[in-house]
A and B are shown apart, each in its own frame.
Chain A
Amino acid sequence: MNGKPLILQAVQCPSPRVKASMILMGLGQILSREYIKGLLYLASLAAYVGYLAMIGITDIAGFITLGTVEADPWLGTAGDDSIIMMLRGLLAIVLTVGIVLLYRSNLRDILETEQLGLYGGNALPFPEAVRHFLDRKFYIVALALPVIGVMVFNVIPILFMILISFTNYGGNIIPPKLVDWTGLDSFRRVLSLTGIRETFFRILGWNMIWALASTAVNYFGGLGLALLLNKKCFKFKKFWRMFPIIAYAVPGFITLLAFKFLFSYGGPINYYITQAGSSAIGFLDIDAGLKAKLIGLGVNAWISIPTSMLLATGILSNMNESLYEAASIDGASPWQQFKKITLPFVVFSTTPVLITNFIGNFNNFGIFYFLRGGLYMDGYFLASDTDLLINWLYNLSIDNNYYSIGAAVSLIIFIITSVLSLSVYVRSNAYRKEDTYR
């Protein structure tokens, strides 16, 4: 194979078998006496064309129009369901992409057959060819199922969400009303409508601070706790390690509801404050602002530090003790030992986890939903000053049915988090020195 595009190679190849496979997928293979392979290609094409004829073309047309007849449940008029049409159209497109890839593989195969002179019965018998393929390209076989799983459960829902953001789905436009393509209108409205734009940037700013602060607190909190419990002088280690694990084992939303009660006006903290003669404190009420944010950080730390601690404990158990002995002999202080030996080692091993934690915290829905939900503040559109983008997204799309706007916000979140995490990851030692650090 040379560097030319596959289709160009096929066009330039004088063999009639290649031309045949260009015209009809699998025909060249049949002419080359690779009957089973050719039949499989041909059957795939026939199935695809059959699918197109039966429903595929209609589905693709439906994807473009998103329906033309509005249903009337009172009159029993069956109309078009735009969202189902979009899904079916999406499936048709995915299948079309699949058949295009198969067509490419058909061309590659027939060109290879020609170049190696395997036509006319010289090729390996099909079962042997399959065995050879399984041996030579085992990675394809091994990855096929996961790739299909990822396509079905990840890629298609993400594509669907992306597509929703380019429609007017939501608000008053809910099936049986027909949904329309509106291009970038949802993004324009998020980024330009007065009130919504300000809300977006305010929440984004707080969201970044929250994600950075909570990741740092959880990470260093866990590391600190692990170091503390690793100290030789520390007594009853198993006993103390049990407490964070219990905190971790309690379902997160139960913990959050417990903390909400703890900090409410009727909760035990305010009970003791009032019993001591002071006025109750609104830890999470409308004036709470910074207090509520700090409580959120603390509660998140309570829930997340045990994970970091367990992770750090595992990594610290692999530390080479002789490094510390050598450093001590050289006169390094404990802080210097931590900074120069422990931290680089732990950070190197946990950079991917750190990035995952950052994304998790960026999209941490539960903390402020459970602690301080149900507030819309002045200066915010359907949000409060502690809401993160994910909470705002929920308010928009679930509480208020603005699905396309919600999809646009989630796409923006996706872009932000993926750009940040990828750029941090490729710059990290964990990526650049993957095979060198020991």
Chain B
Amino acid sequence: MLKTKSLRLIAALLSLLLLVSLAACGGGGDSAGTTQPPAGTQNPAPAATPAGDTGENSGGSTGGSPVAPITLHILENDTAKAEGYLEALLTAFNAAYADKGIVAVDANMDEFTDLAMNGPYGYGPDVLYQANDQLMQFAEDKHILPLNAEELECWSTTPEEAWEAFRLNLDGNSYLCGVPVNIQEPMLFYREDQMPADWQTKWDKDGNGTPDFFENWCDLYALSKEIHEADSSKFGFMASLNNLYLASPFMLSYGNYIFGEKDGVLDSTDVGFSKGNAVNGLMALRQFAGLMNEGCIDDTITLNRYEKIADGSYFCSVSTPDTYSLFLGNLTNRYVQDGMSQDEASAKAVENLKMIEMPAKMPANGDLSQDSSAVTDWVDTICMGGINGYAISSYTKYREACIEFVNFATSFDMVRTRAEMLGIAPTRSDVAALSGDTADTLFQSLDAGRIYLMPSIKAVDQIWVPSQTLMGDVAKDPFRVQQGDPARYPDKEALQAALEDMDQQIYDAIHTLAG
């Protein structure tokens, strides 16, 4: 009986609960269309101004009461981790900021982590180090904080071009969303002992002590032809010509551009690969492909260049500065195989392996077969490049502390340490001046506009596959002819039409479904 009574009581309570719920339901219904943030939305630290202006306390205490240490999660690239630079940076920062209660740790994430996917949900780093095109994709949707860069130590020593790589134009306003650290561009790698014995008499017409084939593309073409004709298993300049980044001199040196500008802002509706005299660059690419093997059509040369430079099959090849150690390792192994000790081999490889910028001049008409001394009209070689730098996630809880970290990581001492440990070309003029020829040359090229920085907008994602397809197709043309098939691009008109098709393809990819 008691049991039945208890059950009745529970039933009554449940009914009451139901009534209360139903009553509350009315209130809930009212709020259904309101703007209350649902779960899954984020609530970043309150700040209506760029990070540098926030009043948030980054220190270890507020109003005298102790506050738990701030932990910053730092995302660096894999090379910085592997070479020990990240550890050095974190150690130095943590020592310097120990009294302020700020601790920086490795974010332990993939170096290409997608902040847009992770940040809003509370994951992702506080500070990121990535290339400008990558960072600015995040900035476009406000996943990266704008900065008062003028307040950073590196502001005055970093050229304007480097800062521009991190400029975001949004709703009529302009913001800087990253802090430049170093420049990247494709470089030429070669073995000094493979230079022609007679280069000083035959290949230095202007007598400036620099071989002509490292100064202009006509002489590099002529040398490549000579090497290949003398021994068909050997080649001069070799590159995967389907790679827009590595073969960018052929695609960007002739007055064309990737995206145009409208009111000083990059305009993705204006795709300009085919503009200017772009077709001359593609003619040059097609011509040089004829002196290479079929490996230039795909990524074969990108994969075997280290080994082939080491064994002397290729006179020179193109790669990024961060692959220097791979070339060096292969050359060292080659010397070890030849009977040298490891130390001797390493020393000789360092002495023999050279990394320089690509030849600075291309013939204006795109005909590489001309005698360089007869060419009067040159254009500057323009390579695609990028600026790597630091940025701060919009989802960090510690904006001021992040700024402190970025300021520390881009200070003279840390950038110099980075240059020494990783061999990067810094954007800071004071460090570049101390960091050797390559860094200084890259810095000057950036300053002189000979490096075409990857556009800092999301639409840049759409340029790679169409350009890879066209460049590979054009590079194949000489081999079609060799096999008795008709050329697909027999003249400038066909190449121009192909470039225009590629522009249209990129435009369609960006805009047709953009919504």
Asked if A168 and B515 make an inter-chain contact with CB atoms under 8 angstroms apart, the answer reads yes
* Beta-carbon contact of B293 and A286 below 8 Å: no
- Known contacts being A49-B18, A374-B468, is A282 close to B31, with CB within 8 Å? no
**Contact across chains for B297 and A282 when beta carbons are under 8 A apart:** yes
Measured CB to CB, the nearest residue on chain B to A170 is B515
Q: Does A249 contact B (CB under 8 A)?
A: no
Which one of B4, B15, B21 has the greatest number of beta carbons of chain A within 10 Å? B21
In the complex, the chain A residue whose C-beta lies closest to that of B459 is A172
Beta-carbon contacts under 8 Å, B447-478 to A: 461-462, 465-466, 468-469, 472-473, 476
A54 to chain B, nearest CB (A): 7
Interface flag for A377 (CB, 8 Å): yes
Contact B47 A378 (CB under 8 A): no
Contact status B472-A285, CB under 8 Å: yes
Q: Please determine whether B21 and A52 come into contact, CB atoms closer than 8 angstroms.
A: yes
A402 at the interface (CB under 8 A from B): yes
Q: Are A265 and B300 in contact (CB under 8 A)?
A: yes
Map CB proximity to B onto A45-83 as digits: 1 under 8 Å, 0 otherwise: 110011011111111111001011101111110111101
A211 is an interface residue with CB less than 8 A from chain B: no
Q: Interface size on A (CB < 8 Å)?
A: 83
Given contacts A69-B35, A400-B509, are A53 and B465 in contact (CB under 8 A)?
no
Q: How far is the CA of A172 from the CA of B137 in the complex (A)?
A: 11
Q: Across the interface, do B515 and A58 meet the contact criterion of CB distance under 8 Å?
A: no
Interface residues of B in 97-154 (CB under 8 A from A): 116, 119-120, 141-143, 145-146
Q: Are A73 and B44 in contact (CB under 8 A)?
A: yes
Given contacts A58-B32, A76-B43, A280-B293, contact A172 B514 (CB under 8 A): yes
The residues of B that contact A402 with a CB separation of less than 8 Å are: 513
The digit string for A160-186, where 1 denotes a CB below 8 A from any CB of B, is: 000000001011111111000000000
**Separation of A57 and B31 alpha carbons in the complex (Å):** 8
Given contacts A57-B32, A265-B297, contact A71 B42 (CB under 8 A): yes
Does A73 lie within 8 Å of B120, measured CB to CB? Answer: yes
**Chain B, 1-18, CB within 8 A of any chain A CB:** 4, 7-8, 10-11, 14-15, 17-18
Given contacts A266-B300, A377-B469, A378-B501, contact A76 B45 (CB under 8 A): yes
Surface stretch bound by A, among B22-30, B191-199, B377-385, B432-440: B22-30
Residue A201 at the chain B interface, CB threshold 8 Å: no
Stretch at the interface among A189-197, A231-239, A316-324: A189-197
- Does A247 sit at the interface, judged by CB under 8 A? no
Contacting residue for B32 out of A60, A71, A374, CB 8 A: A60
Is B14's CB under 8 angstroms from A39's CB?
yes
A81 touching B293 in the complex, CB below 8 Å, given contacts A42-B18, A57-B29, A279-B483: no
Say how far A71's CB is from chain B's closest CB, in angstroms.
Answer: 6
Contact of A381 among B42, B47, B508 (CB under 8 A): B508
Chain B residue with the shortest CB-CB distance to A57: B28
Q: Bits for B468-512, please: 1 = Cβ < 8 Å to A, else 0.
A: 110011001001101100000000000000000100010011001
Instruction: Give the chain A neighbours of B116 by CB distance below 8 A.
Output: 174
Q: Say yes or no for A24: interface residue by CB 8 A criterion.
A: yes
B63 at the interface (CB under 8 A from A): no
Q: Which residues of A contact B35 (CB under 8 A)?
A: 68-69, 80
Q: Decide yes or no whether B46 CB sits under 8 A from chain A.
A: yes
* Residue pair B514, A171 in contact (C-beta under 8 Å): yes
The answer to whether B513 touches A286 (Cβ under 8 A) is no
Interface 9-residue window, one of A6-14, A30-38, A419-427, A430-438: A30-38
What are the interface flags for A372-404 relative to B under an 8 Å C-beta threshold, 1 for contact and 0 otherwise? 001111100110100000000000100110101
Residues of B within 8 A of A177 (CB): 141
B373 interface hit (Cβ, 8 Å) = no
- What number of residue pairs across chains A and B have CB atoms under 8 A from each other? 211
Please determine whether B40 and A78 come into contact, CB atoms closer than 8 angstroms: no
Asked whether any CB of chain B lies closer than 8 Å to the CB of A309, the reply is no
Contact, CB under 8 Å: B508 / A195: yes
- In the complex, whether A405 has a CB less than 8 A from a CB of chain B is yes
Min C-beta distance of B419 to chain A, whole Å? 32
- The answer, yes or no, to whether B298 is at the interface (CB within 8 Å) is yes
Query: Among A46, A78, A265, A382, which residue has its beta carbon within 8 angstroms of that of B294?
Result: A265
Chain B residues, CB < 8 A from A285: 297-298, 472, 476
Contacting residues, chain B, for A410 (C-beta < 8 A): none
Given contacts A85-B38, A174-B141, contact A46 B17 (CB under 8 A): yes
Question: Of B10, B465, B509, which contacts A374 at CB under 8 A?
Answer: B465
Q: Does A43 contact B (CB under 8 A)?
A: yes
Is the CB–CB distance between A73 and B11 below 8 Å? no
Cα distance A375–B299 in the bound complex, in angstroms = 13
Q: Check A270 for interface membership: any CB of B closer than 8 A.
A: yes
Nearest-neighbor residue (CB-CB) of A180 within chain B = B515
A376 and B505 contact, CB distance less than 8 A: yes
Residue of A nearest to B10 (CB): A39
Docked-complex contact A73 and B7, CB < 8 angstroms: no
User: Which A residues are closer than 8 A to B by beta carbons?
Assistant: 24, 27, 30, 33, 35-36, 38-39, 42-43, 45-46, 49-50, 52-62, 65, 67-69, 71-76, 78-81, 83-85, 87-88, 168, 170-177, 189, 193, 195-196, 264-266, 270, 274, 279-280, 282, 284-287, 374-378, 381-382, 384, 396, 399-400, 402, 404-405
6 new A-B contacts, CB < 8 A, other than A53-B27, A73-B120, A382-B509, are: A30-B8, A75-B48, A76-B43, A78-B43, A84-B38, A282-B479
The contact sample of 30 A-B pairs, CB cut-off 8 A, is A24-B18, A35-B4, A35-B8, A42-B18, A49-B22, A54-B24, A57-B28, A58-B31, A59-B38, A69-B37, A73-B143, A73-B395, A74-B50, A75-B48, A88-B40, A170-B515, A172-B515, A176-B142, A196-B513, A266-B303, A270-B294, A284-B298, A374-B469, A376-B505, A381-B508, A382-B509, A399-B461, A400-B461, A400-B462, A404-B515
Interface residues, chain B, with chain A CB atoms under 8 Å away: 4, 7-8, 10-11, 14-15, 17-18, 21-22, 24-25, 27-29, 31-33, 35-48, 50, 116, 119-120, 141-143, 145-146, 293-295, 297-298, 300-301, 303-304, 394-395, 461-462, 465-466, 468-469, 472-473, 476, 479-480, 482-483, 501, 505, 508-509, 512-515
